Structure 1
Amino acid sequence: MDRLANTVRPYAWGSTTAIPQLLGVEPTGEPQAELWMGAHPGAPSRVDRGAGPLALSEAIAADPEGHLGKAVLDRFGPRLPFLFKVLAADAPLSLQVHPDLAQARAGHADEEERGVPIDAPHRNYKDANHKPELICALTTFEGLCGFRPEREAAGLLASLDVDSLKPYVDILHAQPEADALREVLTALLSADPVAMAETAAQAAAAAERLADVDGPLQNAYAAYASLARHYPGDPGVIAAMLLNHVTLQPGEALFLSAGVPHAYLRGLGVEIMANSDNVLRCGLTPKHVDVPELLRIVRFEATEPGVLRPGSVEGEERYETPIEEFRLSRYVLTEEGDRRRIPSRTPQILLCSEGSAVLRSATDELRLGQGESAFVPAGEEAVLTGKGTVFRATVAV
């Protein structure tokens, strides 16, 4: 077992206080957006094996089967197939979608063949992998996830009473769901920027007014108005109004599959995903938006954002998803004498999100305080005790 030293990514949308508070350190005054745990080449965790810090990715590369186990190695090759994060949003992230595996492989191969530099700002596919992900709230967490039914989206846009939105309302009423959503999103992202900035400003002002009126969409209006304050004039503000607004309470989660447009708005959560950087953006960002490729990837269908709550399996609370690369679960230890035996077949990362815990194997013992994490290789028998909450990230094979 190894205690992990992890990297904090300072993206502009991050909270200045949430991750420092979790880690028990003083804030720097700068945004701290994501704490990365795993072996992603962008910021691998570090372990200390007696000869100084070693990247977890290097440790795995030196002995893939010993760290990953034969089943994971055979299925995914000599790499940890997931990335585990703590995410702390104090401002909205970009509105985005992720490709499925076939799309990622084809897109990556195409860009490689065309010689698009891997660090080019217009590069869409930095790797050949898909990026399904799961976000689990540690605090109240707001996000946008999946298209609303077309008539519900039409009603929301109509309620803003903005003349330049009326053609979109008519499309949503007149056409089948997939055609209507595609045509409206295409029109929004292809519109004249000056005209769209004025439309977005009028829509934001209307959302601000409606956020003060009691009703089932009050919180959604407030969220859309907040988006407009962060991204004035961005067509993504209107595109966001086509999506479901979701509020998670601590312990609740959302699974985001390929092609589903989404954005995180604010809150602290743990996130697990397949080990990929592939993102196609729809708006709410100064970064590159490849409209034709985006429209090819987006699934134009209404989806109910199913809020996940864990099911208990022998004291382990699991968030079930249809993905092999990862599984997220947690142990809630309510008394000092609580004891959980950790399954050992696959590699795993354990994060203490609250309280403290002790991780014991036949040869080692690690004490994890709040915000601390450990890597446990496949085959390592371990027992968890303590009083607190520990999240377990592993592989679902």
Structure 2
Amino acid sequence: MTGMNRLTNTIRPYAWGSTTAIPELLGTPPTGEPQAELWMGAHPGAPSRIDRGQGPIPLDTVIDADPTAELGEATVKRFGPHLPFLFKVLAAGAPLSLQVHPDLDQAAAGYADEEARGIPLDAPNRNYKDANHKPEMIVALSPFVGLCGFRRPTEAADLIDALGIPTLAPYVDILRAHPEDRALREVLAAVLGAEPDAMAETVRAATEAAARLAATPGTPHATAYAAYASAAQSFPGDRGIIAAMLLNHVLLQPGEALYLGAGVPHAYLSGLGVEIMANSDNVLRCGLTPKHIDVPELLRIVRFEAGDPGVLRPEAAPDGEELYPAPIDEFRLSRHLLAPGADPRTLPSGTPQILLCTSGEVRLRTLDGPELEPDTTSSPSAPAGTLTLVQGESAYVPAGERIELTGQGTLFRATVTA
């Protein structure tokens, strides 16, 4: 049996995860442990599972058995016989590491170099786990706090100078005196290369000053100072706190998004969102982490370009689909807000899809795929070829099926660019 299937997904229990956000979305009791990411897709680290009549099977195994039938001939030709994206629900209860991702050429070269040098894939000093790039997008489901891209150097100088920490004065001078790319590069290199004990003391003093400024009415950048002070509670003395002050502080409202391309430093601090990315594990870290930081490689990958973080809002199409535009082909993310009594909407075939319901109840009906057995998980009387998703549930749709949507709720659609 083939066709549309409900997904059973794995929750990743990373230490930074919220203990409540994903259970609230899924309607399950909290375990008391962090629940950081709900993975939907065919990544071998935690593939979703589907049941086509013979019990649960990992989605990557299903795709490997017949890539063309599952992904479509065009997708296989462009990206190979694997699902080219990973879809997640991400719940940050504490800051994630400050990080950056390589572009495709950098990833291929870095992976080949580390393979040639015999560095094991699980070595703590390994930078490149694969030869792929990792562009990503986050869409807020709750108020979501993050850092994205560099501030203008003069703005960063003003923010740091207001802390009144003498040991930060040289950074302020550099930010005000040099061209944008040189100023940002020199300060980030100096922060990451500073003597650890001295930098830890500077960070502690800066954190205390940030907390005071955040509590002072009328202080410029008060919300950013509060975010730095909060992050320091998880990473006391971490030089990433100073590096974070070079970045734009962003508060996304539900439905707003950020696209993070290659070379853009970023971190997620708190909130619940849906995230989609190319299928890669390549991460170079620059702070807010006890993990390995390869400063020379990081400085080679980072794009020292300042500017607006580029908050995205969905673009509505005549058919009701709301698209979050991204300049890559490995993933395409959109949203459907369904109202009761509205005309059914049709999702086109030709590409693999993962559909996630984040509120309400959405009914899926296959229009021209294979005849399916009834899915009775939500409704004992469900007709063949239909499936009902409630909040937190998701489904996989192979390339050969058009899907009709009805119901009342919010549905996110993850696929590739056709």
Tell me which interval the TM-score lies in, with the shorter structure as reference length: over 0.9
Deviation of 1:89 after TM superposition, in Å, equals 0.3
**What is aligned with 2:389?**
368
Deviation of 1:216 after TM superposition, in Å, equals 3.9
| TM alignment of 1:90-129, pairs within 5 A | 90-129=93-132
TM-score calculated relative to the size of structure 2:
0.94
Q: Aligned partners of 1:336, 1:99: CA distance in 2, in Å? A: 46
Q: Aligned partners of 1:338, 1:255: CA distance in 2, in Å? A: 31
Q: Aligned partners of 2:108, 2:314: CA distance in 1, in Å? A: 32
Q: Calculate percent identity across the aligned residue pairs.
A: 70
Q: Aligned partners of 2:132, 2:394: CA distance in 1, in Å? A: 26
TM-score calculated relative to the size of structure 1:
0.99
Q: Aligned partners of 2:305, 2:338: CA distance in 1, in Å? A: 41
**What is aligned with 1:335?**
340
> Number of paired residues?
397
Deviations 1:288-319 (A, max 9, x none): 11111101000011021011000112210000
Equivalent in 6, 9, 28 of residue 6 of structure 1: 9
| DSSP-derived class of the 2:34 partner | coil
**What is aligned with 2:321?**
316
Deviation of 1:338 after TM superposition, in Å, equals 4.5
Deviation of 1:337 after TM superposition, in Å, equals 4.0
One-letter amino acid of the structure 2 residue matched with residue 203 of structure 1? A
One-letter amino acid of the structure 2 residue matched with residue 27 of structure 1? P
Deviations 1:182-217 (A, max 9, x none): 111111001011100110011101100110122441
| TM alignment of 1:101-180, pairs within 5 A | 101-180=104-183
**What is aligned with 2:92?**
89
Q: Aligned partners of 1:349, 1:87: CA distance in 2, in Å? A: 16
Equivalent in 226, 237, 243 of residue 247 of structure 2: 243
Deviation of 1:381 after TM superposition, in Å, equals 1.3
| TM alignment of 1:36-55, pairs within 5 A | 36-55=39-58
Q: Aligned partners of 2:232, 2:22: CA distance in 1, in Å? A: 26
Deviation of 1:53 after TM superposition, in Å, equals 1.0
Q: Aligned partners of 1:328, 1:289: CA distance in 2, in Å? A: 31
**What is aligned with 1:354?**
359
| DSSP-derived class of the 2:105 partner | helix
Provide runs of 4+ in structure 1 moved above 2 Å: 213-216
Q: Aligned partners of 1:2, 1:183: CA distance in 2, in Å? A: 52
Q: Is the 8 A contact 1:353 1:390 kept in 2?
A: yes
State yes or no: 1:67 paired with 2:64. Answer: no
Deviations 1:147-192 (A, max 9, x none): 0011111111101010000000011111111111111111100101
Q: Is the 8 A contact 1:338 1:387 kept in 2?
A: no
One-letter amino acid of the structure 2 residue matched with residue 359 of structure 1? L
**What is aligned with 1:230?**
234
User: Which range is displaced more, 210-219 or 5-14?
Assistant: 210-219
Deviations 1:7-61 (A, max 9, x none): 0000000001110111111111100000000000100000011111111001001
Deviations 1:93-119 (A, max 9, x none): 000000000000000000111111011
Deviations 1:224-253 (A, max 9, x none): 111111111111000000000000000000
One-letter amino acid of the structure 2 residue matched with residue 90 of structure 1? G
Equivalent in 252, 263, 267 of residue 267 of structure 2: 263
Q: Aligned partners of 1:19, 1:286: CA distance in 2, in Å? A: 25
